[in-house]
Structure 1
Amino acid sequence: MADLLVEQPQEITISKTFPTKPKLKPKSKALSKTSESKYWSSFKSHQISNLISSIPSIDFSPISPHHFAAANSASLTLFSSSTLSPTSTFSSFSDVVTSCSFRCDGSLIAASDLSGLIRVFDVKTRTPLRRLRSHARPVRFVKYPSLDKLHLVSGGDDSVVKYWDVAGESVVLDLYGHRDYVRCGDCSPIDGDMFVTGSYDHTVKLWDVRVDNKESVIEVNHGHPVEDVIFLPSGGMVATAGGNSVKIWDLIGGGKMVYSMESHNKTVTSICVGKLGKESGEEALQYRIFSVALDGYMKVFDYAKMKVTHSMRFPAPLMSIGSSLDCMTRVIGSSNGIIFAGRRKAKEDVGESKVRNIWALGSVEDPQRRALRPTYFRYFHRSQGEKPNEGDHLIMRQKKVKLAEHDKLLKKFRHKEALVSVLGGKNTENVVAVMEELVARRKLLKCVVNLDEEELGLLLGFLHKHSTMPRHSALLTGLTRKVLEMRAEDIRASDALKGHIRNLKRSVQEEIRIQHSLQEIQGVISPLLRIAGRR
């Protein structure tokens, strides 16, 4: 009876084994893509490289199928937005074409050139309809109002903004106020009588043709020569581009600056508004600002959240950008005559599968599948290929853990063999991880004592290479000190180990010299930063 009360020794088993990993693992520099970044990356890129010179202006037709026009050299080329191939060319210009604009019905297109002439063409027949000449110097922009078919707005190097009567080929208003080249402009999407212009005098002016004194209604200072200006879809805000910044202004609030985006490294040359998603539904309300610059980057800016959501680099300085109203095509013009076009694949509409027309002889309904019963073989294989729904509880198969050689040795408590095994490899992180595990088990120093001369040479070689690395110096520096204390006699007796110690001493002295140099530089920079912080 007493023998039964004696407790039997219990066998200790490890239920689950985990591979050793370093505690201080460096973070990956590659950021995971967001859903919006994946959306913009889904545009299939296509290069159009048969143009002559820089592409200063791109404009999309507001009417489906949303063809686009690109100004290059002394010609204006129309492209199909579906095939991205040229459909027609207007080449009757006497000088370099600087700007182009479709009318709101897509039937006419206006273009300006460096000779100061504005021409209006019929898009289908390519017939020149009007010649508007009043500017004394090159015309830099021309724009059709979005709600007006009879007028045009233009501006040029003569610092004058002109409001045209297209039918009569005459100037309705000459608007003075800019003191330098007028380089850009845009018309209000909600009022055909209002438009905004930007100039190299750093100012952006809002004009209303109904005002009698011919003065601007609102004026804001961008702080740099203004390269482009656009109205945002609400009509109450504008975005301006100049220098390396894109700024958003609240016109209803009297011209107050809302936000300044300064993510480009060089001059921002063009901006436009694009939609995220389709023409209908909730996604249609999500507008973005596209900006391109001479640094070769295109940025997508969410002005609702005030942050850049996507960035893409191109191999040339970028001059212009346009986006179609159906969100399917994005076109960027570069300074070397290449157009970088991107088109998103459209999902084909799935037709009704209930009724089909066969040879126009009538409608035949699809046969219905028989209900599943336990006697059918298909009953036991149902839902094998189904994807889980949002609320389903998933039971995943456990993945088999593949252990490395040193992990297997640690599992068997063969600590010295595990350390020697990982020292023979080339993975620094694994060596540090095994050392951290041995420190946790309080076996690292015991392993160091039991190393023979060859194995000790491996350890000293590793310490020579990596003990000065900042990421591992806290562990390896202390270990180096202990190795020198515990194995001093063995090191003195071996010429090979003495060579390792000399190399280790050399690397430590070099690291100390570098740290002293950095402290001297810090002593020089710190007062300068303190002075700059007071300003």
Structure 2
Amino acid sequence: MAEHQLSKTFPVKPKLKAKPRTPKETPESKYWSSFKSQQIPNLISSITSLTYSPTSPHPFAATHSASLALFSSQAFAPTATISSFSDVVSSASFRCDGLLIAASDISGLVQVFDVKSRNPLRKLRSHKRPVRFVKYPVADKLHLISGGDDALVKYWDVAGENPISELQGHKDYVRCGDCSPVSMEMFVTGSYDHTVKLWDVRVTDSKSVMEVNHGKPVEDVIFLPSGGLIATAGGDSVKIWDVMGGGKMVYSIESHNKTVTSLCVGKIGRDCVGEESQQYRIMSVALDGYMKVFDYAKMKVTHSMRFPAPLLSVAFSPDCTTRVIGTSNGIIYAGKRKAKEAVESVLGDYKGGLVPVEEPQRRVLRPSYFRYFHRGQGEKPSEGDYLVMKAKKVKLAEHDKLLKKFRHREALVSVLGSKNPENVVAVMEELVARKKLLKCVSNLDVEELGLLLMFLHKHSTIPRYSGLLMSLTRKVLEMRDEDIRASDALKSHVRNLKRSVDEEIKIQNFLLEIQGIISPLLRVAGRR
């Protein structure tokens, strides 16, 4: 019984070595990881915006250079390219029926195209400077909203090609905007003046009905599906605001390291969260190359994914099967997720005259058969078989064998002769647990004591070992003081040990000085 208990502790392993932390994969992480990414390369320049058609099969549009490219969401292949632009295209938006698409460019022009024929139907000229965003209101086929570097927001009558309202109030470039999902007359815009304004076109004085200050130049703003909350992106943070509560900030997400460039809303189903109702997530991308998924019901980041380039745009399909991310180097990372139902229908049904191939059935071996008792070693066990597993024999090192026989001093000397400091520390920890380490040190002869002092000189200043080894060093010097004074070799080891400790103390003092210089600077930067 004692032998069995001892075998569980061998071979001895170091306890001071930090174990790598492996994050636990959640069902939601598995859900977002199931979007297998593929690249859509060869686009001319940065992907300034991405948008999905609201109608099935949900093609998506990407703006890059002086072009607007349309892609299939099934094969991620380009279906058409619109090049009727004189300058860089900045934004695009599908109409609610998916038949028309509006696009803006930095020449100040907004154009409306027929998706099938790709012919320009309307050209809206009023902005004097680059237009940065254009948006169709939800369920509205007759109007458009645009904003640009002239700090103006315009509400357009598309048929008449003239602005109905010219909304003033921003003091810097208007860079983004979004329309309310519950009202065709309300929308928000974000500007480099750090503010986000809520507009209602029914208000006659052309003033915003609400304003919030993000604190940094606003790169993107979106309505959340309820219509009562908005999310804003600026600097390295994403903030959620309660519109119904008068513009109160609900939460600030500080998970990115560089400027957040784009936001969108993604919807996940019950196959991920295990609940009947579908839930929404905020997806954000930034110049640090990360895409983050934020659950704003629980106020936490639930997934993060790294891409090898700065990210400028993101979009998620309305049917929750694809997502696309645009980069600064002209590559779109498109991801498609095959639903479980689709897999089952493919495996369970067969159409077009194709007959499923049946696998040949193997003859089951029964205990009454003669061949049952002559199976080879490669035979796999059946489901009901009882497996008798032979325990693997653990090969023990010399110091483990000596510890097992309670020959403590010899085990310490044996491991000191090896070149692995982790094994030495592991043996020392085992001897401390047995209360035999100091007794072993007192019984070492001069040559063996030299081995111990040499080991302490080399490794006592290493941070993960220093807690044990520095206290042991003090005890060794106290207990073997007379032997050290009588031996020149031992004195040399002690001098080397003292030199390494003095150098470590100098380094630590130098680091403390640097910390004293940096800490006030960080406090000043934090106040700003």
Pairwise TM-score range, normalised by the shorter structure: 0.7 to 0.9
Rounded to whole Å, the distance in 2 between the matches of 1:507 and 1:253 is: 63
Q: Equivalent residue of 1:472, what SS?
A: helix
Partner of 2:220: 228
Identify if the C-alpha distance between structure 1 residues 296 and 396 changes in structure 2 by more than 3 Å, giving closer, same or farther. Answer: farther
Partner of 2:64: 72
* 1:284 Cα deviation after fit: 6.0
Identify if the C-alpha distance between structure 1 residues 343 and 446 changes in structure 2 by more than 3 Å, giving closer, same or farther. Answer: same
1:91-139 deviation digits (Å, cap 9, x = unpaired): 1111110100111122211101111111111212212222121212211
Any conservation in 1 of the 2:6–2:404 contact (CA below 8 Å)?
Answer: no
Rounded to whole Å, the distance in 1 between the matches of 2:520 and 2:324 is: 49
1:154-191 deviation digits (Å, cap 9, x = unpaired): 11122221112222323222222222221111111122
- Is 1:306 matched with 2:312? no
In the TM superposition, what are the counterparts of 1:130-529 in structure 2 within 5 Å? 130-277=122-269, 282=275, 285-347=278-340, 348-351=342-345, 384-385=382-383, 400=392, 402=394, 404-405=396-397, 406-488=399-481, 490-491=483-484, 496-518=489-511, 520=513
* 1:47 Cα deviation after fit: 2.2
Partner of 1:7: none
Identify if the C-alpha distance between structure 1 residues 309 and 426 changes in structure 2 by more than 3 Å, giving closer, same or farther. Answer: farther
In the TM superposition, what are the counterparts of 1:79-94 in structure 2 within 5 Å? 79-94=71-86
Partner of 1:368: none
Any conservation in 2 of the 1:114–1:139 contact (CA below 8 Å)?
Answer: yes
2:98 is matched with which residue: 84, 101, 106? Answer: 106
* 1:526 Cα deviation after fit: 7.5
Rounded to whole Å, the distance in 2 between the matches of 1:403 and 1:360 is: 57
Rounded to whole Å, the distance in 2 between the matches of 1:201 and 1:355 is: 58
* 1:29 Cα deviation after fit: 5.0
Any conservation in 2 of the 1:224–1:242 contact (CA below 8 Å)?
Answer: yes
Q: Which amino acid aligns with 1:464?
A: H
1:296-318 deviation digits (Å, cap 9, x = unpaired): 22222111111222222323222
Q: Which amino acid aligns with 1:200?
A: Y
* 1:457 Cα deviation after fit: 3.4
Can you give the 5+ residue segments of structure 1 that lack an aligned partner in the other structure?
1-10, 362-372, 387-394
1:261-301 deviation digits (Å, cap 9, x = unpaired): 12222221111111234799847622111112222222221
For normalisation by structure 1, the TM-score amounts to: 0.84
Partner of 1:115: 107
Identify if the C-alpha distance between structure 1 residues 497 and 263 changes in structure 2 by more than 3 Å, giving closer, same or farther. Answer: same
Any conservation in 2 of the 1:147–1:190 contact (CA below 8 Å)?
Answer: no
Identify if the C-alpha distance between structure 1 residues 383 and 161 changes in structure 2 by more than 3 Å, giving closer, same or farther. Answer: farther
In the TM superposition, what are the counterparts of 1:6-21 in structure 2 within 5 Å? 13-17=3-7, 18-19=9-10, 20-21=12-13
Any conservation in 2 of the 1:59–1:100 contact (CA below 8 Å)?
Answer: yes
Rounded to whole Å, the distance in 2 between the matches of 1:344 and 1:352 is: 15
* 1:43 Cα deviation after fit: 2.3
* 1:199 Cα deviation after fit: 1.4
Any conservation in 1 of the 2:453–2:493 contact (CA below 8 Å)?
Answer: yes
* 1:507 Cα deviation after fit: 0.5
Rounded to whole Å, the distance in 2 between the matches of 1:200 and 1:533 is: 22
Any conservation in 2 of the 1:275–1:285 contact (CA below 8 Å)?
Answer: yes
Rounded to whole Å, the distance in 2 between the matches of 1:74 and 1:353 is: 44
Identify if the C-alpha distance between structure 1 residues 279 and 483 changes in structure 2 by more than 3 Å, giving closer, same or farther. Answer: closer
Rounded to whole Å, the distance in 2 between the matches of 1:52 and 1:271 is: 23
Any conservation in 1 of the 2:270–2:278 contact (CA below 8 Å)?
Answer: no
1:400-455 deviation digits (Å, cap 9, x = unpaired): 57363133321221212322333334443332221122122222233224434554
* 1:151 Cα deviation after fit: 1.5
Rounded to whole Å, the distance in 2 between the matches of 1:212 and 1:397 is: 83
For normalisation by structure 2, the TM-score amounts to: 0.85
Q: Which amino acid aligns with 2:230?
A: V
Any conservation in 2 of the 1:188–1:235 contact (CA below 8 Å)?
Answer: yes
* 1:141 Cα deviation after fit: 0.5
Rounded to whole Å, the distance in 2 between the matches of 1:351 and 1:342 is: 21
Any conservation in 1 of the 2:442–2:479 contact (CA below 8 Å)?
Answer: yes
* 1:461 Cα deviation after fit: 2.1
Any conservation in 2 of the 1:279–1:327 contact (CA below 8 Å)?
Answer: no
Rounded to whole Å, the distance in 1 between the matches of 2:404 and 2:133 is: 75
Any conservation in 2 of the 1:56–1:98 contact (CA below 8 Å)?
Answer: yes
Identify if the C-alpha distance between structure 1 residues 330 and 12 changes in structure 2 by more than 3 Å, giving closer, same or farther. Answer: closer
Rounded to whole Å, the distance in 1 between the matches of 2:32 and 2:21 is: 21
Can you give the 5+ residue segments of structure 2 that lack an aligned partner in the other structure?
356-365, 371-378
Q: Equivalent residue of 1:57, what SS?
A: strand
1:439-484 deviation digits (Å, cap 9, x = unpaired): 2222223322443455433322221122123433332123223333
Identical residues among aligned pairs (%):
72
Q: Equivalent residue of 2:155, what SS?
A: strand
Rounded to whole Å, the distance in 1 between the matches of 2:207 and 2:104 is: 25
Rounded to whole Å, the distance in 2 between the matches of 1:196 and 1:533 is: 30
* 1:144 Cα deviation after fit: 1.1
Any conservation in 2 of the 1:53–1:337 contact (CA below 8 Å)?
Answer: yes
In the TM superposition, what are the counterparts of 1:18-33 in structure 2 within 5 Å? 18-19=9-10, 20-33=12-25
Q: Which amino acid aligns with 1:446?
A: K
Partner of 2:361: none
* 1:519 Cα deviation after fit: 5.0
* 1:384 Cα deviation after fit: 4.7
Q: Which range moves more in the overlay, 485-494 or 69-78? A: 485-494
Identify if the C-alpha distance between structure 1 residues 383 and 305 changes in structure 2 by more than 3 Å, giving closer, same or farther. Answer: farther
Any conservation in 1 of the 2:284–2:291 contact (CA below 8 Å)?
Answer: yes
Q: Which range moves more in the overlay, 93-102 or 170-179? A: 170-179
* 1:382 Cα deviation after fit: 13
Count of matched residue positions in the alignment of Structure 1 and Structure 2: 515
Q: Which amino acid aligns with 2:112?
A: V
Rounded to whole Å, the distance in 2 between the matches of 1:500 and 1:533 is: 49
Identify if the C-alpha distance between structure 1 residues 497 and 47 changes in structure 2 by more than 3 Å, giving closer, same or farther. Answer: farther
Identify if the C-alpha distance between structure 1 residues 16 and 316 changes in structure 2 by more than 3 Å, giving closer, same or farther. Answer: same
1:345-404 deviation digits (Å, cap 9, x = unpaired): 44434249999899799xxxxxxxxxxx99899xxx999559xxxxxxxx9979657363
Q: Which range moves more in the overlay, 456-465 or 241-250? A: 456-465
1:325-349 deviation digits (Å, cap 9, x = unpaired): 2222221212222222222344434
Rounded to whole Å, the distance in 2 between the matches of 1:125 and 1:358 is: 33
